[in-house]
């Protein structure tokens, strides 16, 4: 149990376009999901916390208008990178909280902006 | 300084034990975690420990927590080639509503 999927696994887009990444908890309900970003050979940095039915909470320095988060159901959260630029190229990973202390991570999405 | 610190590399011989160390700064951490990341993949939760525990063992994995020194370690017994990965230490300060704070990760290299 506790499987989290992400789609797509890889995406290449042109500068100025928008990209949507989906995060799903497959076998449990997650009232809270998290979005992280990982640069090459770096650690994961928390971008935002997504709560079902309410607005996301963004970490300091993360532009909420650029990284739109929607948590439409207890099993789905989406991250939309709007007007993507090459500096947005990164590995985006979501996690879903199954309990107060367990977070399970998706396999990640590699975004390349050309 | 960083909230969670780890050394970047650890090299061990196959069959030996690996000990990966982590230090953290926030005494209000409630849970501490070890995650494993293989190349190009997401994070796999290996184990976690509650802050009021000293030790947790799960098959080949042993976690030791020294809360006084804010030091966490992960011991992998009988290290195998499949253990080669990056190991991240992480902490959470509250409950399920909080994201995790990660260390930079320790790259475990297995020598034949």
On the question of pLDDT at B95 being above 70, the answer is no
Distance from CA of A68 to the nearest CA of B (A): 18
Which of B3, B96, B104 to probe the A interface (max A CBs under 10 A)? B96
Q: Is the pLDDT of residue B4 over 80?
A: yes
Say yes or no: B87 contacts chain A, CB-CB below 8 A.
Answer: no
pLDDT at B40: 78
**Per-residue pLDDT, A59:** 92
- Residue to test with chain A: of B45, B90, B99, B102, most A Cβ within 10 A: B99
pLDDT tens profile B16-61: 999 999 999 887 778 899 999 998 788 899 999 998 899 999 999 9
List, for residues B64-73, the tens digit of each pLDDT value: 999 999 999 9
Q: What pLDDT, on a 0 to 100 scale, did the predictor assign at position A107?
A: 92
pLDDT band at B2 (very low <50, low <70, confident <90, very high): low
Closest-CA distance of chain A to residue B69, Å: 22
Strand order in the sheet with A67-73: A4-7, A19-25, A76-81, A67-73
Q: What is the pLDDT of residue B102?
A: 93
Q: Give yes or no for residue B98 having a pLDDT over 60.
A: yes
Q: Which of A100, A104, A107, A109 is the best residue to mutate to test the B interface, defined by the most B CB atoms within 10 Å of its own CB?
A: A100
Q: Which residue of B has its CA nearest to A49?
A: B99
Q: pLDDT tens string for chain A (114 positions)?
A: 689 999 999 999 999 999 999 999 999 998 899 999 998 778 889 999 998 888 899 999 999 999 999 988 999 999 999 999 999 999 999 999 887 778 899 999 999 999
Summary mean pLDDT of chain B: 91
Residue A32 CA: distances (Å) to CA of B12, B30, B86: 38, 18, 26
End-to-end CA distance of chain A: 37
Residue A25: what pLDDT? 94
pLDDT value at residue B94:
62
- Which residue has tokens 């020194």? B69
Of A97, A104, A108, the CB nearest to B41: A108
- Closest to B72 in 3D by CA, of B36, B21, B31, B33: B21
What share of chain B has pLDDT > 90, as a percent? Answer: 73
Residues of B in contact with A6 (CB under 8 A): 42
Q: Nearest chain B Cα to A110, which residue?
A: B40
Rg value, chain B, Cα: 13
Nearest-neighbour CA in chain B from A69: distance (Å): 15
Say whether A49 and B43 touch across the interface (CB within 8 A): no
Q: Which residues of A touch B53 (CB under 8 A)?
A: none
pLDDT for B96 equals: 53
What's the CA gap between A33 and A103, in Å, rounded?
A: 9
């Amino acid at each position: 149990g506790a499987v989290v999927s992400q789609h797509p696994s890889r995406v290449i887009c042109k500068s100025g376009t928008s990209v949507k990444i989906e995060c799903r908890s497959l076998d449990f309900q997650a009232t809270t999901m998290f979005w992280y970003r990982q640069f090459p050979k770096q650690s994961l940095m928390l971008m935002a916390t997504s709560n079902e039915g309410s607005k996301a909470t963004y970490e300091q320095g993360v532009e909420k208008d650029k990284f739109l988060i929607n948590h439409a159901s207890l099993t789905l959260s989406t991250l939309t990178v709007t007007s993507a630029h090459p500096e947005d190229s990164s590995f985006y990973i979501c996690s879903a909280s199954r309990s107060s202390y367990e977070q399970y991570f998706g396999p990640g999405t590699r975004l390349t902006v050309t | 300084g960083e909230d969670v610190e780890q050394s970047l590399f650890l090299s061990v011989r196959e069959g030996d034990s690996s000990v990966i160390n982590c230090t953290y700064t926030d005494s209000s951490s409630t849970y501490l975690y070890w995650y494993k990341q293989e190349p190009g993949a997401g994070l796999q939760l290996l184990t976690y420990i509650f802050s009021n525990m000293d030790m947790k063992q799960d098959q080949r994995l042993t976690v030791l927590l020294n809360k006084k020194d804010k030091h966490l370690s992960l011991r992998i017994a009988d290290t195998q080639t499949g253990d080669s990965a990056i190991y991240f230490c992480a902490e959470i300060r509250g409950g399920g509503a909080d994201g995790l704070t990660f260390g930079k990760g320790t790259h475990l290299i297995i020598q034949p």
